[in-house]
Structure 1
Amino acid sequence: MSEFLPPILARYGDDLLDGFWITLQLVGLSIGFGIVLASLSTRARLSKRWWLRWLSAIYINLFRGTPLIAQLFLIYYGLGQFSGLWRTLNLWWFLRDPFNCAVLAFTLNTAAYQAEIFRGAVEAVPRGQWEGASALGLPRHIGFLKVIVPQAAIYALRPFGNEIILMVKGSAVASVVTVYDLLGETRLAFSDTFRFDVYFYAAALYLVLVETLRRVWNLLEARLTRHLDPASKQRMRRRKESVLEPVAS
């Protein structure tokens, strides 16, 4: 099979695929942990307690307002300056691994964006839905989980998919802290051969992943909104645009 491949792929194809797998792990873990942290941040952002709203706003604005690569450097190099403390707390095993530091940085970053997406989606649900849940005698937390969250999930679906795609592309910065993801393996191959076309093959793998996600998200959105009539879909589309506003601010 290798005789039919370009020489650069025959030699480094397996390495690129290994890096592609690392990229998938980075993105998957970051998005998964980010959903948990973003859910907590969203609840704090919508809380009636001012100090919870304040703390959540500081966290969200901090990580949305600074570059991802700077956050990664602060975690990998900055926290590494206190190795003695982390050894005392038995956390050095985690922070000395560049992969773990990248997952931590990506999780904190994407959770800040996800929190604003989730908040915008919850606020996009018509107020009458809250009143309807209350009229049915549902406790507020039950009404939120059973009535509001399913509708908010549809509003958040498209911007959430966009955030995953942005995280896929942003994950390339992990290579600067010696994580051998797709871009990291590509840089190694280039340093050995000085063949710039290896970057085209890496770009093709990123494109395949992003295009696959886009198509899956289109199918998922069509599936979840199949019960809506055209007029309702149009209204929902306008509300989705309002969900994007806090993300772009």
Structure 2
Amino acid sequence: MFELLINYGPKLLDGAVMTLQLTFISVSIAGLLSLPLAILRRSKNILWQWPIRLYVSFFRGTPLLAQLFLVYYGSGQFRPELTELGLWWFFRDPYYCALLTFALNSTAYQLEILRGGLQAVPYGEVEAGVALGMPRRLLYQKIILPHTYRIAFPALGNEIILMLKGGAIASVITLLDVMGHTRRVFSQTFDISVYLWAALIYLVITTVFVLVWRLLERRLTRHMFYQRDIKRITPVEATSTKMEASNVN
């Protein structure tokens, strides 16, 4: 078991780098696309609402594997047209096809998460900003977006973890991520323990990400933790604190 890790460990680590690369780039692209789409999704204009609703329904209602096959194998049906447009170099590469599929899929989920965050922003604070004469851009910058991302932050972390693990299907189109190298090693050694090592790699990556994300979440909501600590102070402690302050004065 440990001999297999010594012999094939570097390959599994190379696969881990590929997995992280695919996940990071795809969720970053999705993060850039999801916010403007979430704002348009809340628009009262039907011309904006329905195309975005159809997009979200398709990518959230169909398996990620089917979406990957549609992009990778389906694009081959339009090779002449894609060649004329100069895009065939993109769709013939499994890496770019996986990246595009993961980005589109993650955008649909992040879009809905942010839409929920936008709806949860206290309307009274928005009204206060309007009363102060804030323009729309400043309202989003100072009030709406900070609240939205603070509310949506835990759910966004869950989405990234799901994409990290769901991205294992990239191996079915010959990409050598963690699962791609795992399948190749198993075909050479027939040692089932290689799948255990692959699972441990995913577990380590996920654990580290969760710890980092929790630190970021705590920093983002540190004022809420402060308020929570203030509420925990008992009346006796509050009275003694006031008496000490008065004695000092």
- Do they fold alike, i.e. is TM over 0.5? yes
Q: Which amino acid aligns with 1:196?
A: I
**Which residue is 1:200 aligned to?**
196
**Which residue is 1:173 aligned to?**
169
CA drift at 1:57: 0.7
193-202 or 214-223, which moves further after superposition? 214-223
CA drift at 1:48: 2.7
Alignment of 1:24-103 (within 5 A): 24-103=20-99
Q: Is 1:106 aligned to residue 102 of structure 2?
A: yes
Deviations 1:131-188 (A, max 9, x none): 0110110112320122110111110100000000000110000000111100000000
CA drift at 1:91: 0.5
Could you say what the CA RMSD is over the residues aligned between the two structures, in angstroms? 1.5
Percent identical residues: 48
Alignment of 1:116-155 (within 5 A): 116-155=112-151
Q: For 2:191 and 2:181, how far apart are their aligned partners in 1?
A: 13
68-77 or 126-135, which moves further after superposition? 126-135
SS where residue 73 of structure 2 aligns? helix
Alpha-carbon distance change, 12 to 74 in structure 1, aligned in 2, over 3 angstroms: same
Deviations 1:208-229 (A, max 9, x none): 0111111111111111111121
Q: For 1:74 and 1:141, how far apart are their aligned partners in 2?
A: 39
Moved over 3 A (4+): none
SS where residue 219 of structure 1 aligns? helix
Alpha-carbon distance change, 66 to 232 in structure 1, aligned in 2, over 3 angstroms: farther
CA drift at 1:82: 1.2
Q: Which amino acid aligns with 2:25?
A: L
CA drift at 1:232: 10
**Which residue is 2:216 aligned to?**
220
- Unaligned 5+ segments in structure 1 are 234-249
Q: Which amino acid aligns with 1:210?
A: T
- Unaligned 5+ segments in structure 2 are 232-249
Normalised by the length of structure 1, the TM-score is 0.89
Normalised by the length of structure 2, the TM-score is 0.89
Greater C-alpha radius of gyration: 2
Deviations 1:88-141 (A, max 9, x none): 111111111101000100011010000000000011111111101101101123
Q: For 1:232 and 1:33, how far apart are their aligned partners in 2?
A: 40
Q: Which amino acid aligns with 1:175?
A: S
CA drift at 1:231: 8.8
Deviations 1:64-96 (A, max 9, x none): 010000000000000122111111111111111
Q: 1:211 aligns with which of 184, 199, 207?
A: 207
How many aligned positions are there? Answer: 229
Q: For 2:66 and 2:230, how far apart are their aligned partners in 1?
A: 43
Q: Which amino acid aligns with 1:164?
A: I
Q: For 1:13 and 1:188, how far apart are their aligned partners in 2?
A: 13
Alpha-carbon distance change, 120 to 169 in structure 1, aligned in 2, over 3 angstroms: same
Q: Which amino acid aligns with 2:122?
A: P
Q: For 1:99 and 1:15, how far apart are their aligned partners in 2?
A: 18
Q: Is 1:230 aligned to residue 244 of structure 2?
A: no
